[in-house]
Amino acid sequence: MIYQVAEMFNDKNKISADLNEAVETIKNMFYKKYFEPVINIMEKEQRELDLHEPKEIKLLKALEPFLNSNEKILVNKITHCITATKIINKLNTQIKITAQQNNSEHSDGIYDLDQDCLAKKNNNLMTMALIFALSGMY
């Protein structure tokens, strides 16, 4: 029995494979728990924007027939930036509202967490997650 345990710990390939499997499991769990819901929300917001295009995007698209190919590429990139900005702003607003609703005030007037601190922390983390997720959308 002791020999088997010692043999198991001396097999570097097995240990390396097990560690790689553990890392992959953690990465997949983190993606499913944190990024996948954000991506799903962003895709929903993208579909909503596609149905109700902002006037800025309508204007840029109206210019396309009069542009050369390089200018069309630039307009396309600007359109994506506008869309991404609108999605991020909408989600940031929702995050702030949720953070304020979840902040509990005690009878002595002291909050569990400072509202501005919580909103700023959530806002920064969500913005980073959104930028990461948006980078794969376009």
CA-CA distance, 30 to 117, in Å (whole number)?
24
What pTM was computed for the model?
0.55
The per-type count for the chain, helices as H runs and strands as E runs, is 6, 0
Number of domains in the chain: 1
Q: How confident is the model at residue 136 (pLDDT cuts 50, 70, 90)?
A: low
- pLDDT exceeds 90 at position 65: yes
pLDDT single digits (tens) 80-130: 888 888 888 888 777 777 766 665 544 555 455 555 555 555 556 566 666
Average confidence (pLDDT) over 56-73: 93
- Structural domain including 117 reads 2-137
- Residues 55-65, mean pLDDT to the nearest whole number: 93
What would the DSSP string read from start to end of 49-112? Answer: HHHS--HHHHHHHHHGGGS-HHHHHHHHHHHHHHHHHHHHHHHHHHHHHHHHHHPPBPTTS-BS
d(CA 119, CA 98): 9
β-bridge partners, 111 = 105
